[in-house]
Structures are given as C-alpha cells and as structure tokens.
Amino acid sequence: MTKTVMKIDGMMCGMCEAHVNDAVRNAVKVKKVSSSHRSGESVIVTDDVPDEAKLREAVEKTGYKVLGITSEPYEKKGFSLFRKK
C-alpha cells in the first residue's frame, strides 16, 4: 500500500475538506482519504502509487491549489491486546 500526502492551498473549512475528499475518491481508487484545512493537506492511502496528474487535476478543478505531492510505502498498523516480547 502507498500513503500519499498532498499539500493543498485554499481549504478553509470542513466543507472544503469534503470537496477535496470527494474529488480524490472520484479520481483514483482509495482505501482511505482524509483532508485537513488546518494543516492544509490531504492524506490518501491506496493499494498502488496513484497517478499524481489525475489527483492534481481533480483537486484543482474544485478550486484548490495543489502545492506538492509526496508518496511513500504505507504499512497498516495492526491493533493487538498482546504485546510482543
């Protein structure tokens, strides 16, 4: 899996976050997407590395400016009641 972080300018509220999340979901197949107007970024988890051009185009069509996109391998953190020793 891949974690992609997009730095986005122009998000001002929770509704802006929802617009960005919808745009991302419509552009690429995601496992999870979460946007924050406070931090000015959107975090996207996908099976494969997403097409950055598609992400940028989808978000910028909604009126926001993509300042940067970075991707890195993502490993889901599991929850366990038992600690490994």
Domains and CATH numbers, the chain: 2-73 (3.30.70.100)
Q: How far apart are CA 16 and CA 20, in angstroms?
A: 6
**Facing residues of 46 across strands?**
2
Contacts of 82 (CB under 8 A, 6+ apart): none
Tell me the per-residue pLDDT of 10-65, one tens digit each, with 9 for 90 and over. 999 999 999 999 999 999 999 999 999 999 999 999 999 999 999 999 999 999 99
User: What's the alpha-carbon Rg for the chain, to the nearest Å?
Assistant: 14
**Exposed e or buried b per residue across 28-44, where buried means at least 16 C-beta atoms within 10 angstroms of its C-beta:** bebeebebebeeebbbb
Name the band, by pLDDT with cuts 50, 70 and 90, for residue 80: low
Pair 43, 34: CB distance under 8 Å = yes
